[in-house]
Structure 1
Amino acid sequence: MSKLKAAIIGCGSISKHRHLPEYAGNSEVEIVALCDRVMSRAEAMQGVYGGRVYTDYEELLSNEAVDLVSVCLPNYLHAPVSIAALNSGAHVLCEKPMATTTEEAEAMIEAAEKNGKQLMIAHNQRFVRSHQQAKELIEQGAIGKVYSFKTIFGHGGPEGWSVDGKDSWFFKKDEAVLGAMGDLGVHKADLLRYVLGEEFTHVSAMVETNAKEAITVDDNAICLLKTESGVIGTLTASWAYRANEDNSTIIYGEKGELRLEDDPTYSLMAAYTDGSRVNYELGKIQSNEEGKQTSTGVIDHFVEAVRTNTKPLIDGEEGKKSLNMILAAIESSEKGHTIQL
C-alpha cells in the first residue's frame, strides 16, 4: 500500500510539537511539503522531517499532489486555506477553532462534501483516556442522572508556547479574532458535548480582557451552560492562571461524581454515594509544557479515517457545533443576556 502524502501549512509550535512528529510516527504517511510565510521556520522543520519548502500555500497546493493537509495557521486563515486545500483534492485536518464564524464553518463543510473529502478538526481532548473512560461510565449509568459539571482550561497564556512569544498572532484581533475562548474554551465546549453525549441549548457568559496588557482579544471567561436535558454547569477559559495549568473537569450525578484530570496521579477519580471510590491511572493529559509532549492520537485517527473512508470523530459538523458555543458565549457577554442556541 502506498503511503499517504502529507503537507503541513504553518510551521509554528503546534506543527513542531504535534502534527509533524505524529505524522512522522505514522508508518502510513510521508511528509512531502512544508509551508510557512517565514521561510526559516519551514526550513528548520525540513531539516528534521524532509519535504519541499514553500512560503505560499497556493503554490504548494498547485505544485504538489498531496493526500493530507494540516492547516496550522492563525484562526482567520483556517477557513480560506482549508477550503483551498479541499478544492485541490486533499483531505484536511484543521486546527481549532475550525473557523471564526458559523458561515466560514459551513463553507468548509460544503467544500468537503462537494469534493468528497474528509474534514477533521483537531480537538484532541476527545482522545484523552480519562475523558473517554468518563464518557463510558456516564453511558453505563455509573453516576446515574447527570445534574451538573464544571470544566476549566487555564494557563498563563500562549506567549510561552507560541513561536512568536509576546508578539504572537494569538493576541491580535485581526488574526486571532477569538482569544482564550478560541484557544482553550472551544476545546472544553467540544469535550462537554462529547462526554455528556448531548447538545447545549443555552449559553450565558462574562468574557473579559483583564489579565494581559496590549492585547485585543479576550483572555478570561466564565460561561454558564445548559444542555437539552437540563444539565447545567460552568466552563472557564483563561490565560490568567500563571502559577499552574488547570485542565480539569468535574461531573456531578445522582449516584456519584467523576473528577477528570484533577489529580497529579489519578487522571480519573470516581466517588460514589455508597462510599466506594475508584481511582484510574490512565496516563497524562496533553500539556503545553516543554518535555511533556506525548502523542495526541489526532493524526492517527485522521489517517485512519482517510484510509478507511469513514467519518472522523470530529468532522466539520462537530467542529461547527463546538465553535457555535464559543461564539454564543462572546455574544452573550457583549449583549448582557443568555443566548439560545
Structure 2
Amino acid sequence: MGKVKVGVIGCGSIAIHRHIKEYAANPDVEIVAFCDVILERAEEKAKKYGGKAYQSYEELLTNEEIEAVSVCTPNYLHAPITIAALNAGKHVLCEKPMATSEEEARKMIEAAKASGKKLMIGHNQRFVESHEKARELVQSGKLGKIYSFRTAFGHGGPEGWSVDGRDSWFFQKEKAFIGAMGDLGVHKADLIRYILGEEVAEVGAFVETLAKESDVDDNAVCILKMESGIIGTLAASWSYSAKEDNSTVIYAEKATVRLEDDPEYSLIIQYTNSEAEKFALGQIQSNEDGGQNQSYVIEKFINSIKEDTEPAISGYEGSQSLNVILAALESGKTGKIVKVQK
C-alpha cells in the first residue's frame, strides 16, 4: 500500500508536539486533514503541512480519502469521536485516557471489532527504552521475586503545557472528567501493568484537589495490589512545580531497579551484593522536552495499519489501564479498597 492518509482531530498541544510532528516525519504518512472547533487552528496546520481544514469532525469523517485519524480532543469526546470514526471505516489512534467510563471503553472496542479497523491508545510510556528493558528484566527472572514498586508522574500542571493555559479544558470537569489521574496517573497504571506483566487487582486511593482552583483532582496517591500479590504506590500530581518527576522503582529479591530516577542514567540496577549496573538509554518523552523526543506511538500505529497487525496498545489494553483509574476514583469517594473491573 502507499502512504496512509491521515486526519488529525483536535489541534491542541498533544497534537502539535506529538501527533502532527511525528506524522509529518513519517515517510509512510500523508496528512490530508486537520480539525478543530477553533477553525483557525486547523487552518494554520493545513497551511503549514497541506491538507484541508475542518471545524466539524463529522464533516471530516465523510472524507473518503482519509484512512486513519488521531483523536486529540478533550477526554469527554474521545469515545464518541472514536466510535464515529470507526463506524466511518477509519483506523483510530486515540489519546489517553481512552474514555470516561468502562461502558464507553467497551463500546469503542466493540466498534473496532465490528468495523474491522485498528484502535490504538496513545500510552507512549511503554515505548521508553528504560521501561522496555525493565519489562525484560522482570520477565527474565534476573531480579528474582518482585516484592514492591513505586511509580510517579508529576509536573506543574497543564497550564504550562496546554495551548489554552489556565483556561484549558483540563481544568473543566464536564470536559476532562478527571484531572491529574487522567492526564498522568493512567500513564503509570498502564506502565506498571506493562513492566510487571500482570493486572492490578485492587486499589486504595486518596484523590484530592489541593493545588489548583478547579473541580478536578490535582494530587492523588494510590496503593495498588497486583494479581500475584505485589504491592506498590502510584502518585499523580499537577503540583510538582520545581521539577517533573517521571520515575519508577521496582523492589525485588535480588535487586532494586530505578527507572528515570537519575539525571544521567535512565536505568540503574542496584544488586543486593552492592554491585550496580547503569544504563544511559534514550530520554523519556515528557512535557519538559517540548516534543523533542519521538514517542514511537505514531510509528507503531502506522505500522499496524500497513502490516495489518494488532496495534501495540489495543483498545482492551487501554480499557484495563482506565479501569485502574476508575477504581482509584471510586476508592477516593468511598474510602474503601476497590476491586478493579476486568
TM-score, length-scaled by structure 2 = 0.98
Query: What is the DSSP-based 3-state SS (H/G/I as helix, E as strand, rest coil) of the residue aligned with 2:147?
Result: strand
Distance in 2 of aligned mates of 1:46 and 1:16:
12
CA offsets 1:267-324 (integer angstroms, 9 cap, x no match): 0000111222100011211121254621100000000111111111210000000000
Of residues 300-309 and 42-51 in structure 1, the stretch that sits farther from structure 2 once superposed is 42-51
> Which residue of structure 1 aligns with residue 54 of structure 2?
54
Query: What is the DSSP-based 3-state SS (H/G/I as helix, E as strand, rest coil) of the residue aligned with 1:289?
Result: helix
Distance in 2 of aligned mates of 1:48 and 1:137:
44
Within 5 A, what are the aligned runs for 1:316-335? 316-335=315-334
> Which residue of structure 1 aligns with residue 262 of structure 2?
263
Of residues 221-230 and 58-67 in structure 1, the stretch that sits farther from structure 2 once superposed is 58-67
Deviation at 1:65, TM superposition (A): 2.3
Distance in 2 of aligned mates of 1:314 and 1:290:
23
Distance in 2 of aligned mates of 1:16 and 1:273:
45
Deviation at 1:15, TM superposition (A): 0.6
Within 5 A, what are the aligned runs for 1:18-37? 18-37=18-37
Tell me if structure 2 keeps the 8 A contact 1:224–1:234: yes
CA offsets 1:9-32 (integer angstroms, 9 cap, x no match): 000000100000111111111000
Distance in 2 of aligned mates of 1:182 and 1:65:
33
> Which residue of structure 2 aligns with residue 219 of structure 1?
218
Distance in 2 of aligned mates of 1:242 and 1:291:
16
> Which residue of structure 2 aligns with residue 117 of structure 1?
117
Tell me if structure 2 keeps the 8 A contact 1:184–1:237: yes
Deviation at 1:94, TM superposition (A): 0.0
> Which residue of structure 1 aligns with residue 232 of structure 2?
233
> Which residue of structure 2 aligns with residue 245 of structure 1?
244
Distance in 2 of aligned mates of 1:182 and 1:39:
27
The residue type equivalent to 2:142 in the other structure is: A
> Which residue of structure 1 aligns with residue 91 of structure 2?
91
The residue type equivalent to 1:55 in the other structure is: Q
Distance in 1 of aligned mates of 2:293 and 2:258:
22
- Structure 2: any 5+ residue segments left out of the alignment? none
Distance in 2 of aligned mates of 1:2 and 1:108:
27
Query: What is the DSSP-based 3-state SS (H/G/I as helix, E as strand, rest coil) of the residue aligned with 2:134?
Result: helix
> Which residue of structure 1 aligns with residue 15 of structure 2?
15
Within 5 A, what are the aligned runs for 1:95-244? 95-213=95-213, 215-244=214-243
Tell me if structure 1 keeps the 8 A contact 2:127–2:296: yes
For the aligned residues, what is the CA RMSD?
0.9
> Which residue of structure 2 aligns with residue 75 of structure 1?
75
Query: What is the DSSP-based 3-state SS (H/G/I as helix, E as strand, rest coil) of the residue aligned with 1:63?
Result: coil
Tell me if structure 2 keeps the 8 A contact 1:287–1:293: no
Say whether residues 1:281 and 2:280 are aligned partners: yes
Tell me if structure 2 keeps the 8 A contact 1:259–1:270: yes
Of residues 180-189 and 289-298 in structure 1, the stretch that sits farther from structure 2 once superposed is 289-298
Deviation at 1:77, TM superposition (A): 0.0
Give aligned-pair identity as a percent.
62
TM-score, length-scaled by structure 1 = 0.98
The residue type equivalent to 2:22 in the other structure is: E
Runs of 4+ aligned residues of structure 1 deviating over 4 Å after TM superposition are none
Query: What is the DSSP-based 3-state SS (H/G/I as helix, E as strand, rest coil) of the residue aligned with 2:62?
Result: helix
> Which residue of structure 2 aligns with residue 254 of structure 1?
253
Query: What is the DSSP-based 3-state SS (H/G/I as helix, E as strand, rest coil) of the residue aligned with 2:287?
Result: coil
The residue type equivalent to 1:164 in the other structure is: D
The residue type equivalent to 1:13 in the other structure is: S
Distance in 1 of aligned mates of 2:64 and 2:76:
24
Distance in 1 of aligned mates of 2:294 and 2:43:
23
Tell me if structure 1 keeps the 8 A contact 2:98–2:322: yes
Query: What is the DSSP-based 3-state SS (H/G/I as helix, E as strand, rest coil) of the residue aligned with 1:134?
Result: helix
Distance in 2 of aligned mates of 1:306 and 1:134:
28
